[in-house]
Chain A
């Protein structure tokens, strides 16, 4: 019910934005409502705050530019997360290309850096979890995070990642399997 109320009010805000009524105010309201969830999901993927902040800004600027043409066929949050998903995947692919350019030693160092950044790290199992998550393919990682931490239904995950419900489920279970294998091997 509360979700429905929130969705309706999102719609009203968007309608006002599209009608040109205090656009910045409407936009700011949307940002305030959804910024945390979007930022957390991006940060789960890229780990570093600075990167997550950059991507979040890109996503919100795209929302500002395209909100006029948003047809409200899906929930605003689904649309927002879809933009977030695309931008995060773009960022990770660019970073991967850069890593290839660098030498193997450098990339190993940076991997260790990612794994060891962001205190607190209390135990070995914590580090293993970081590594197990980081070795997942991007899409599986994204789906795993949305399902486990955001507790989203598969229908919504499928809409965000532009796949089928079955595909989303398969991504989650593949991720789980790969993490299991990683733990056994290490």
Chain B
């Protein structure tokens, strides 16, 4: 029903146009529109496919540019990962002296006291020798 109305409406509209320009004139107008170069429609799909292929092929320069950008981003990411990791580790390793319990400190000192004594003795010996030589030189001056 709706299609029928539209067909009637279209016919009326065509008649209105025909009152201005006869049907032959309208047909001639359309003839000039449908006139295309020989084989145009047969070759058109191939022309499009060829165009798609050209568009698909990325140029070598573009590929190189993209690769170098990707490499730079990777270096940046890896570098920042190591930097952040290192910073976090050193921050975690550092323990403030006040955080160590006194008992632990005492134990450490008593366990390592003889090492410290030996080290001090060695140092005194070294210094003692030096002091002697210093004294000697002083005496000789005097």
A residues neighboring B (CB under 8 Å): 24, 27-28, 31-32, 35-36, 39-40, 43-44, 49, 53, 56-57, 60-61, 64, 118-123, 125-126, 128-130, 132-133, 147-149, 151, 153-154, 172, 176, 179-180, 183
Count residues on chain B whose CB falls below 8 Å from chain A CBs. Answer: 31
B residues neighboring A (CB under 8 Å): 6, 10, 13-14, 16-17, 20-22, 25-26, 28-37, 40-41, 44-45, 47-49, 51-52, 55
- Which residues of chain B are near A121, meaning CB under 8 Å? 32
How far, in angstroms, from A122 to B31 measured CA to CA in the complex? 12
**Least CB distance, B42 to chain A, in whole angstroms:** 9
**Interchain CB contact (< 8 A) of B26 among A128, A129, A151, A176:** A129
**Least CB distance, B30 to chain A, in whole angstroms:** 6
Q: Is the CB of A118 within 8 A of B35?
A: yes
- Which residues of chain B are near A118, meaning CB under 8 Å? 32, 35
How far, in angstroms, from A40 to B28 measured CA to CA in the complex? 14
- A24 touching B41 in the complex, CB below 8 Å, given contacts A49-B36, A122-B28, A148-B26: no
Determine the main DSSP class of B at the interface with A.
Answer: helix
- Which residues of chain B are near A133, meaning CB under 8 Å? 29
**Least CB distance, A166 to chain B, in whole angstroms:** 14
**Interchain CB contact (< 8 A) of A130 among B20, B29, B37:** B29
Determine the main DSSP class of A at the interface with B.
Answer: helix
- Identity of the chain B residue whose Cβ is nearest the Cβ of A155 in the assembled complex: B6
How far, in angstroms, from A107 to B110 measured CA to CA in the complex? 106
Q: Is the CB of A172 within 8 A of B33?
A: no
**Interchain CB contact (< 8 A) of A179 among B20, B34, B52:** B20
**Interchain CB contact (< 8 A) of A148 among B17, B25, B48, B51:** B17
- Which residues of chain A are near B32, meaning CB under 8 Å? 118-121
**Least CB distance, B46 to chain A, in whole angstroms:** 8
